[in-house]
Chains A and B, each alone.
Chain A
Amino acid sequence: MSSDRPRKNGLDFATARTPECVPIERLGDAITQEERAHIETCARCQAELSLWHAFEQSTPAADDGAAVQWIAAELARRRGPAAATGRRTTGWIRIPGLSAALATLVVAAALGYVLWDREPPVPHGVTSPVYRTGRIRTSAPLGDVASAPRALHWSPVEGTASYDVRLLEVDRTPLWSGSTSTPGIDLPSDVSALFVPGKTVVWEVTARDASRAIIGESGAQQFRVAPSSRDR
């Protein structure tokens, strides 16, 4: 994997975790002054923190959006009926210890499936429920913004009677919700006041038709008011 890796020359010591390192499962919590001081002087903790940030605050990027949607749909598709019925089995479709004959059948079926289509199946001619609802394209705010947003905007979805909008903390604790019939919504001033520099906020929009059926979803979008140099 990394053939140029200079082995056994102290790198293992320099990059390994130490007893003082902040446990990974604590990275999402408020860290203590002592831990903060340690992170300042620990390349390992700094690397772990940046990886965790990549997970926690990963904003959709244009280059991986479609693939991410595909994987998420795959995950939903692979959820077997066992979990839905609540049995204490895994729920995900896994190949158990099959006999050779059965395994051959599975391989043949899988091969046929691969040749047929690698995308998750989308039922044709079915209006509701659909496998994937439409994707709402959000326009602002996204990523780092200079000042606290006063409104949220997205592209209209045909056939929408109302849009439900939710603002959430990154752990999905609800901050605010609202509804509108237009592809944008103003935020109350007391909500905008919550957007302190450096704090990531998640928002999502759900489009509903006249019967309140979901016809489009934005998925989780994120923004934060960029910290000024003073805040860093």
Chain B
Amino acid sequence: MPLRAQSDEALFEEWRKRTDADRGALIDELFGRHYERVARWCLRFTGDREQAADLAQDVFLKAYRHLDSFRGASRFSTWLYTIVRNECMTRIERSISPIDKDEVIAAAASLDPPPDELVARNERGARLREFLIATLEPLERRVFVLHYGDEMPLDAITRLLRLDNASGAKAYIVSARRKLARATQRLRNRGGTL
């Protein structure tokens, strides 16, 4: 069967059976069919084609180096996506400006909390997650988690989620913050706490 007619997973199986000398064409076909998909995601993440090309190159470089680790338990494209996502998150982490010393000390102090504190934190986390679900619309939640949870820039979220409203993800963040503030106030007025 010609390479182009084979599924990703069949190509990978073939790649596993071959010796290094015969693998080039398989890799070209397997990766080549995902070039546009990865390129598009990287472009939407970075907003710049030069940066996106470098990011996409790093993705495929990593995929190539770790192809042995693909076990076929998931679809190949999902496996590739985990690499794309991790590379993007790594770039976000690298670009975040260093936090101040007070924060470092606070963070260090919070390491390995005693068990009772850990339980309390987990409980609070569960309450906060429920609060988010109950207070925000689905799209507001997604934008909120990506921006505040992953520190993803708003313009990247706008492009990745294809938000076509005038101010993109920012509108959802503004709306989410307003709703959360109101909901928190209502909770306080009732004597509750998060």
User: Chain A residues in contact with chain B, CB under 8 A?
Assistant: 1-2, 5-8, 10-16, 18, 24-29, 41-44, 46-47, 50-52, 54-56, 58, 60-61, 64, 67-72, 74-76, 78-79, 83-88, 90-92, 94, 118, 166, 170-174, 177, 219-220
Contact = CB atoms under 8 A, between A and B. Distances in A.
Main SS at interface, chain B? helix
B5 A90 contact: no
Nearest to B11: A172
Contact of A25 (B44, B79, B150): B79
22 contacts: A2-B147, A2-B153, A2-B154, A7-B103, A8-B106, A10-B128, A10-B194, A13-B128, A15-B144, A27-B81, A43-B142, A47-B145, A47-B146, A51-B160, A61-B162, A72-B39, A78-B53, A91-B64, A170-B77, A172-B7, A174-B5, A220-B37
Nearest to B62: A90
Shortest beta-carbon contacts, A-B, top 8:
A15-B149, A13-B125, A28-B78, A14-B128, A71-B39, A47-B145, A72-B35, A43-B141
Given A14-B125, A52-B81, A71-B56, A41 B36 contact: no
Given A7-B103, A15-B144, A220-B36, A91 B27 contact: yes
Contacts of B23: 86
Interface of B: 5, 7-9, 19-25, 27-28, 32-33, 35-44, 49-50, 52-53, 56-57, 60-61, 64-65, 73-79, 81-82, 84-85, 92, 95-97, 103, 106, 121-122, 124-125, 128-133, 136, 138, 141-142, 144-151, 153-154, 160-162, 194
A74 B55 CA distance: 12
A43 B161 CA distance: 15
Contact of A43 (B8, B79, B85, B145): B145
B57 A75 contact: yes
Contacts of B76: 171
A203 to B, nearest CB: 14
Contacts of A41: 129-130, 133
A50 B148 contact: no
A64 B43 contact: yes
A82 to B, nearest CB: 9
Contact of A58 (B37, B79, B148): B37
Contacts of A87: 20
